[in-house]
Chains A and B, each alone.
Chain A
Amino acid sequence: MDQRAPNLLDEALGLVDEEKTKPWPLSSRVVLLEDRVETSGAFVLHHLLKRALSPHSSNDVVVFLAFSQPFSHYDRVLRKLGCNLTAQRENNRFFFLDLLMSEFPDGDEGNKDGLVALYGKIEKVVTTSFQENKKCITIVIDDFSLMEVAANGSTNYVLDFLRYCRTLTSAFGCSLVVLNHEDIYSSIERPALILQMEYLADILIKAEPLATGLATDVHGQLTVLNKEIRDEQGSSRNKICNFHFRVKENGVEYFYPGSKT
């Protein structure tokens, strides 16, 4: 399978242009990825990682905040997709922050291990990379619900952190990709956190199971809402795409419902 062949997800995100005549389409944008227990959205993260670290763009940097899995997991998964994270880490293109064991209790502003300090670290990487002329920086958070647990449930604290990271997107043109689990919030009365995140996001990607349940041929459906994309006439509009997917070891197949051959 040709890894450069555009697929439905790339088209929905506007990542199709391969000659890099335009800047990285996700620059200055916030991408919110939502998934559920039945259907995991991690494969979208892997895909975006691979695109961000592709060899064609030599000035891209990825800062990865890992709350969910250790480095070895991502390394193995991305290796099968054709991306060597170990080498990218050594080349200072991939910054992996292992936060599996980190705790961020609220009220600890002076603490050098708190969220404030974490933001400081990210900002430092971003400003240094920017000065080295590596202009396309992607910050990835996997996943946000675990950051809430690390902060012992203080929603405001983690939302503030998110907003600070968002300032980096406007100041430095970074893109911010966050994974969160939608079904955690759908069952509470005032799901403030997820609504705020959906409001902040420029691109919303939802991974859900099919209405008819799980199947071996189709693993679920993706809905991509791309807010305010500029089309040829220069006017902005929202674009919604919905298609099915099937996850494999070395890639993902995307296809419109019913067209799987």
Chain B
Amino acid sequence: MDSKAWTLIKLINCRPDVHNHWPGVAGSREPPLKSESTASTLSTKSLLTITYTPGLKYGPNGTIFISSGIPDLDKILGGGFPLGSLVMVMEDAEAPHHMLLLRNFMSQGLVHKQPLLYASPSKDPKGFLGTLPTPGASKDDKSRDHDPENENGLRIAWQYKKYFGENQHHFDSNRDVKHEYCHDFDLRKPLEKHFISGQHIDCVSILDSPNLAALRDRCATFLAQFPRNDSSISSAGRISIQSFCAPQCKYSNMEWDMLSFIRSLRSVIRSSNAVAVVTFPPSLLSPSFSRRWQHMADTLLSVRAIPDEDKEMAKLLTGYQDMVGLLNVHKVAHINTQVPVILDATTFSIKLQKRRFLVLESLNQAPIDSSSGTSYGTSASCSGSSKSGTLDF
């Protein structure tokens, strides 16, 4: 019998976790498995990715995802941001690329009518809402094709098949509802007014607060609207905090206080149906504290600027001129499981397709110029060291 079908039968017959994929089904957990009989090939791939609400997607291990607002990023992260997790984005002090991530994240929430709490070090955070992008036109306009179904048409040598398929299944069964779950945002057009007015949007300025008690209370009140319990989920919340340790904020030299805030945010979010995205410039923190912040994150990303005219890099990479910046995925959230998520590639280029839509592409090396005879040993190393080289493939 085909191994996939065998796994399917075992899953249906043995696994109590399958029941957890149906929200609203009352009932306690089944008695524990007899571990000796559990085959080690039992996968936790979700059989049933049912979306009852357009903004939510059900994943394995009882996780529920919300979209990041960037289709490519959702794909890379295996579905999106899981509810109950903390996403941290390390900024590049020289470039505002983290704002692209924040804008798309916030717009996606507003389009799905998910309440939003936005904190920023500017005097008037509400003004930022005017810069949020609007969902783009229909999918037919786009010429890019990251369609995983096309890849199935390739004949893959048998021994490499096991490396595929980890993330593909999420999207194969969801292609028709994908346009509802994650939109492609047109960065040149502002979000229509009706998405912003009448929404539950809370804007907080953290510029003048002497300490973080007020923000902590606002977050706690906001998150109290989305308690996590076993019943079906009605709505999900989004918190976005921009440039958390920005030097213009009065509390920015209180390192332990900031850490304490993040810890409390993380703890409350664990028991809420919400996601918090916090961006911060790590160069403004001491290395030890920066590491503490990184450990607190469930999903850890970093954005870097690309210098405008770098001939070395232009020679190394194709499509260099279109790149706006680089995105690194350092950690991917894995809640309710001990298995880490290892990605094929962790560095992606941020590009604006047609100058409007944010896309993330894996880096491609340019064809080697045979006449020059230079070696790419220095820059194109495969080392995954934590110290950042110019390019980490």
Contact = CB atoms under 8 A, between A and B. Distances in A.
Contacts, number: 120
Interface string A92-120: 00000000110100000000000000000
B270, B330, B331: which has the most chain A beta carbons within 10 Å?
Answer: B270
Given A2-B36, A37-B331, A101-B268, A145 B292 contact: yes
How big is the A interface, by class? Answer: 35 or more
A42 B295 CA distance: 12
B383 interface: yes
A82 B383 CA distance: 36
B376 interface: no
Nearest to A153: B256
Interface in B343-393: 346, 382-386
B337 A101 contact: no
A251 B271 contact: no
A215 B340 CA distance: 11
B337 A38 contact: no
Interface in B293-341: 294-295, 300, 330-331, 335-340
Contacts of B340: 39-40, 219, 247
Contacts of A133: none
A82 B35 contact: yes
Contact of A38 (B31, B35, B386): B386
Contact of B288 (A37, A188, A219): A188
Interface in A229-261: 247-251
B62 interface: yes
Interface in B52-81: 61-62
A101 B340 CA distance: 25
B38 interface: yes
A248 B337 CA distance: 9
Nearest to B266: A100
Interface stretch (A21-29, A72-80, A195-203): A72-80
A192 interface: no
A37 B328 CA distance: 14
Contacts of B383: 212-213
A170 interface: no
Contacts of A251: 40
Contact of B337 (A76, A83, A146, A185): A76
5 nearest A-B residue pairs (beta carbon): A213-B384, A82-B35, A100-B267, A187-B287, A84-B32
Interface of B: 29, 31-36, 38, 40, 42-44, 61-62, 163, 255-257, 259-260, 263-264, 267-268, 270-271, 286-288, 291-292, 294-295, 300, 330-331, 335-340, 342, 346, 382-386
Given A209-B384, A216-B342, A247-B340, 20 more contacts: A2-B36, A37-B331, A38-B330, A69-B270, A73-B336, A77-B336, A79-B32, A79-B33, A80-B337, A81-B35, A82-B36, A83-B35, A101-B264, A149-B263, A150-B260, A152-B257, A181-B295, A183-B386, A187-B287, A249-B42
